[in-house]
Amino acid sequence: MENQEKQLQIKLEKVRLLEEKLRLKTGLPHLYGLKDYPWQKDYKAAKFIKKRLLCAANQIGKSTAQIIDRIDIATRPELWPKLWPSQFEVNAHTKPYSWYLYPNQDTVTDEIENKWIPYYLPTGEFKDHPIYGWKIVRKNKAIKHIEFNSGYRIYFKTYNQDVHDLQSGTVFAIDCDEELPEHLLSELQARLFATDGYFSMAFTATLGQDFWKRVIEGVRAGEEQPWADAWKIQISMFDCLKYADGTLSTWTVPRINQVIANCKSKAEVKRRVFGKFIRDEGLKYEAFDRDKNYKPFPKTKDGKYFKGVPKGWTVYSGVDIGSGGKDGHPSAYSFIMVSPDMTKLRWFRGRRLDGIKTTAGKTYQYYKKSRRKLNVVKQAYDHACADFGTIAGTGDTWEKAKKDHTLGEFALNTAFQMGMLIIYYDPEDPDDEAIKLVDELESLGNNTDKKHAKDDFIDSARYTVTQIPIDWDEIFNGEPPAPSPESAEPGTKERERPNDYFRDREEERREQESVQEEIDEWAAMY
């Protein structure tokens, strides 16, 4: 009998613990309702680091990690003096408040009503708890902030607000959902100066902005690394196969492979599945394909890269004169060689003078050093800088660049689409400049404000291509010109079958881009 009573007591205790677990799981979902992936756990553990950046694939819980961590901080007053010691030394009764930014007000409403309230915020008996309790504060029906019974407040702002609306106020922390436009960053950072506050951003890289790309994916040797002190992580769907406790998640390799197969392009796969900085929506140069239009210099029979200009090919160049310096638009120049029958265009040399305060004269000096002994048949410059024309025109022949964007963008897109224009790079040079041009082509959007656009290298290439006497309308609307034997790749003796050149290349590209091969290759990496 005594043994039976003991067993009954054990069962009752188990029931009580299960009920308590269910009560906490239901009432405090931000603490007990969700399993963490390892990277989510690491993100929350890094809450004392001033800058946190979580760049991830779509729909894997990046926003969830940021939201529940903010709710956790808002409902743990014992953490506040440790997070903001300078503020609590002045006033031990400080009540922190933060900003949470979404792209627009509709998103604020949708996220709060369909995510925060049903899935993350305390509920049930904890809705009115003296610490965990909270209420939504609205103004003219629009959600303005969440006020916790702990005294913490989360105010909601948007990216499309006038920048002046973000200039007032001092806050303790700022959280950004999705990629923050670069031009808003300095104003937001200024809001944190007085409190020595915290910045966090959880996003998929849909805008492809150069600053955030450099922060997340790093820079080349010799370049300055922005936000080197930040905690940052880049997450793919393959990082979500298991939870931090070792149990399997709902993500499986077959499920991820199906997502890959449903993506409309390799660029979309890289962004949405692997969390990479790739933008393929609303691109100004959407015809550019890194696999087709970006290749290493061809090799000669002895295995060396051929970086010269073959006999019979001509060279054109273009210069864009920028304001230079750390925050201004840098100067840039490009050299493109063209086959005798103008069926092949090869960008093979150039430079973007990042971080260099360049006058017109200084830009010309850099250009001349790169030009060296090249016989350039036509040189174009941005005639908005009259000084450059005056300085460079002394003993040198220059033309004013054709700056019409419609013409230049059409020419570049046509050349990329038809496979005529290839950007060469040197695999042996870690400081090769060609990747900068590729980065601009893969990130410049149709609606990017020219003042904030990273397109200086593109402009130099655009000025170069529009000098080449090619009838782009004829090429775009008709059959591409067949290359002559003299148009073989520089450094090779290969002869193409003229009438089959473009057809063969397109068939090869499609074959190489077999979806199943890509799936097998990516899956094997993880």
d(CA 420, CA 414): 8
Shared domain for 311 and 259, answered yes or no, is: no
d(CA 432, CA 424): 10
Shared domain for 224 and 313, answered yes or no, is: no
d(CA 335, CA 461): 8
Is residue 524 situated within a structural domain?
no
Q: What is the pLDDT of residues 358-392, one digit of tens each?
A: 788 899 999 999 999 899 999 999 988 888 888 88
Shared domain for 173 and 320, answered yes or no, is: no
Provide the number of structural domains found in the chain.
Answer: 3
Is residue 515 situated within a structural domain?
no
Is residue 444 situated within a structural domain?
yes
Shared domain for 19 and 47, answered yes or no, is: no
Shared domain for 20 and 32, answered yes or no, is: no
Q: Taking residues 278-285, what's their average pLDDT?
A: 74
Q: What pLDDT shows up at residue 202? A: 97
Q: How confident is the model at residue 122 (pLDDT cuts 50, 70, 90)?
A: very high
Question: Phi and psi at residue 174, in whole multiples of 5°?
Answer: -135, 125
Shared domain for 319 and 252, answered yes or no, is: no
d(CA 453, CA 209): 9
What's the CATH code of the domain at 119?
3.40.50
d(CA 143, CA 109): 7
Q: What pLDDT shows up at residue 257? A: 94
Q: What is the pLDDT of residues 390-435, one digit of tens each?
A: 888 777 889 999 988 888 999 999 999 999 999 999 999 988 999 9
Shared domain for 2 and 46, answered yes or no, is: no
Shared domain for 47 and 196, answered yes or no, is: yes
Shared domain for 52 and 141, answered yes or no, is: yes
Is residue 503 situated within a structural domain?
no
Sheet of 97-102, strands arranged across: 134-139, 142-148, 153-158, 97-102, 173-177, 198-203, 51-56, 231-235
d(CA 195, CA 170): 7
d(CA 309, CA 143): 63
Count helices and strands in the chain by DSSP H and E runs:
19, 15
**Cα distance from N-terminal residue to C-terminal residue, the chain:** 57
Six-digit token pair at 47? 């809450």
Is residue 302 situated within a structural domain?
yes
DSSP state of 510: H
**What's the whole-model pTM score?**
0.68
Whether residue 494 is predicted with pLDDT greater than 50 in this model: the reply is: no
Is residue 516 situated within a structural domain?
no
Q: What pLDDT shows up at residue 278? A: 74
Shared domain for 410 and 262, answered yes or no, is: no
Shared domain for 18 and 73, answered yes or no, is: no
What's the CATH code of the domain at 417?
3.30.420.280
- Domain housing 70: 28-272
Shared domain for 176 and 300, answered yes or no, is: no
Q: What is the pLDDT of residues 303-322, one digit of tens each?
A: 899 999 999 999 999 999 98
Q: How confident is the model at residue 19 (pLDDT cuts 50, 70, 90)?
A: low
What is the torsion angle, in degrees rounded to the nearest 10, for the CA atoms of residue 60, residue 62, residue 63 and residue 67? Answer: 120
Question: Phi and psi at residue 394, in whole multiples of 5°?
Answer: -80, 105
Is residue 117 situated within a structural domain?
yes
Whether residue 136 is predicted with pLDDT greater than 90 in this model: the reply is: yes
Is residue 517 situated within a structural domain?
no
Pairing of strands 345-352, 421-425: parallel
